[in-house]
Structure 1
Amino acid sequence: MRTRRDRLRAATVKEISETARRILVEEGAEAVTLRAIAREMGMTAPALYRYYDSHRELLRHVVGDLFTELTAELHNAIHEVQPPDLSRKFLAVSRQFRRWALAHPREYALLFGAPVRGTSSQEDADFAEACAREFGWTFLALFLELWQKKPFPVPPDEEIDPALLVQLRKYRDEDLGVSLPLGVIQQFLKCWVRLQGGVSLEVFGHLEFALDDAEPLFELMLSEISPILGLTYTPPGGPPAAGPSLAG
């Protein structure tokens, strides 16, 4: 059982994180300083060092909390799919990822812009990395489920660029720890680059030179990715397009 002191500390840490996020949203990442947070909370900056050793350590905790929030929203989107099948799950989680990103552009920039590095505590770095990995597994788990139910076409090892092959093997064996053909890992990364890259361009305003509304382009991308994975593309609010649908 936590002591009263532990509960007070946890409440203060939560308030610090919430204050940091509010400043992030209102003023941008560069404004999230220990001094600014202390001023908002009616504390002195040195007092915050009882909770965080550095500005970077604080940001890593904010990053971890944001990844946890985003992951929860993606899981909720998956669980709301009725009837549950892999095609609808893939589309639901992809669309929710974009919706969250557009609704939280500065939070998204903190997660997927320049990474926050160099924390003074390995424990805090591990916390942020663990939250990021949990987010990543949301997408990878769908690929694993799809591959197990109905393997989609992937290139054999000898057809993958040797320089890429080495990196894919390292990523699979050391980071993911899964038993999958390297072609599956390559396909996963190709799809993720298209999905996250397209969302990033939209969030950061790099499509505004041509598009006022990038959603049709995003949906076009989903319609192109889906059949590659043996999935059925369903337009938002519309009937499914012709093709196989995998229950899951």
Structure 2
Amino acid sequence: MESRRERQRAATVDEITRTARRILVEAGPEAVTLRAIAREMGMTAPGLYRYFASHGDLLRHLVGVLFGEITAALEAGMARAAKGDHGGKFLAVARAFRRWCLAHPREFSLLFGAPLPSLDDEGDLDFADQCGREFAWTFVRLFVDLWRKQPFPVPADEELDPSLRAQLTRYRDDVLGVDLPLGVMQLFLQCWVRLQGAISLEAFGHLNFALDDPEPLFELMLAELCGLLNLEYEPPAG
């Protein structure tokens, strides 16, 4: 059982995090400073160091919280798909990811835009790293499950570009630690690049020059990805 002091500390950390997020949403990532947060909370900036070792530490905690929120949204979307409906799960996760990102453009920018200097990775896994990996593994597990239960066509390992083959081997063995053909890893990354790329273009307003509503184009991309994965595409309800 947590002590009263531990509960008070957790409540203060939560308030600091919520305040940082509110400033992020209202003014952008550059405005999320210790001084601004302290001012909003009626504290002194040095007082925040009792809870976070640095500005970067605070931002990384916020990053972890946001990754946790996205992961929960993805899992909730996946849970609504029928059991055994691999296509439904894939589409639910992709659409849930897009919905969250478009509903939270400032948060999306912090997570997937240009890295802030104070968010440089110092090598040790921390809260942000762990939450980021849990987010990534939502997609990885979905892809692995699909491959094992409903395999899709992929190139043989020897057909891959030698340089790409070496990089995919390192990513598979050292980062993910999964037992999959390299062709599956290549297709996983191809799908991820297209998914995040399409969402990024829309979230950052880079499709406004041509489209008022990019959703139909996004759905066309999902239909193409379903074709690559031997999944049945179903348009969104309504």
Decide: shared fold, TM above 0.5. yes
The whole-number CA distance in structure 1 between the counterparts of 2:186 and 2:83 is 29
- Quote the residue 1:140 is aligned against: 140
The whole-number CA distance in structure 2 between the counterparts of 1:211 and 1:159 is 38
Question: TM-score, normalised on structure 1?
Answer: 0.92
Q: Which amino acid aligns with 1:154?
A: V
The whole-number CA distance in structure 2 between the counterparts of 1:118 and 1:157 is 34
- Quote the residue 1:166 is aligned against: 166
Question: TM-score, normalised on structure 2?
Answer: 0.96
Q: Which amino acid aligns with 2:155?
A: P
* Matched length: 236
Task: Pick which of 2-11 and 68-77 moved more.
Answer: 2-11
- Quote the residue 2:23 is aligned against: 23
Note the residue ranges of structure 1 that are not aligned, 5 or more in a row.
Answer: 239-248
Relative distance call for 1:206 and 1:98 in structure 2 (3 A) is same
The whole-number CA distance in structure 2 between the counterparts of 1:21 and 1:121 is 25
Contact 1:34 1:55 in 2 (8 A): yes
Shift of 1:206: 0.5
The whole-number CA distance in structure 2 between the counterparts of 1:67 and 1:160 is 32
The whole-number CA distance in structure 1 between the counterparts of 2:162 and 2:217 is 33
- SS of structure 1 residue aligned to 2:74: helix
| Structure 1 residues 119-169: Cα deviation after superposition (integer angstroms, max 9, x where no partner) | 6794xx521111011001111111111111121111111111111111100
| Structure 1 residues 90-146: Cα deviation after superposition (integer angstroms, max 9, x where no partner) | 001100100100000000011111234336794xx5211110110011111111111
The whole-number CA distance in structure 1 between the counterparts of 2:83 and 2:158 is 39
- SS of structure 1 residue aligned to 2:175: helix
- Quote the residue 1:246 is aligned against: none
Note the residue ranges of structure 2 that are not aligned, 5 or more in a row.
Answer: none
Contact 1:57 1:121 in 2 (8 A): no
Q: Which amino acid aligns with 2:160?
A: I
Task: Pick which of 171-180 and 125-134 moved more.
Answer: 125-134
- Quote the sequence identity (%): 65
The whole-number CA distance in structure 1 between the counterparts of 2:17 and 2:148 is 40
Q: Which amino acid aligns with 1:145?
A: D
Relative distance call for 1:220 and 1:151 in structure 2 (3 A) is same
The whole-number CA distance in structure 2 between the counterparts of 1:120 and 1:148 is 36
- Quote the residue 1:118 is aligned against: 120
Q: Which amino acid aligns with 1:34?
A: L
- Quote the residue 2:82 is aligned against: 82
- Quote the residue 1:57 is aligned against: 57
The whole-number CA distance in structure 1 between the counterparts of 2:157 and 2:115 is 32
Relative distance call for 1:56 and 1:161 in structure 2 (3 A) is same
The whole-number CA distance in structure 2 between the counterparts of 1:4 and 1:119 is 33
Does 2:131 match 1:96? no
Following TM superposition, the consecutive aligned residue runs of length 4 or more in structure 1 with deviations greater than 3 angstroms are 118-122
Q: Which amino acid aligns with 2:30?
A: E
- Quote the residue 1:204 is aligned against: 204
Q: Which amino acid aligns with 2:34?
A: L
- Quote the residue 1:244 is aligned against: none
Contact 1:57 1:119 in 2 (8 A): no
- Quote the residue 1:3 is aligned against: 3
| Structure 1 residues 179-214: Cα deviation after superposition (integer angstroms, max 9, x where no partner) | 100000000000000000000000000011111110
Q: Which amino acid aligns with 2:41?
A: M
- Please, what is the CA RMSD of the aligned residues? 1.4
- Quote the residue 2:235 is aligned against: 235
Shift of 1:82: 3.4
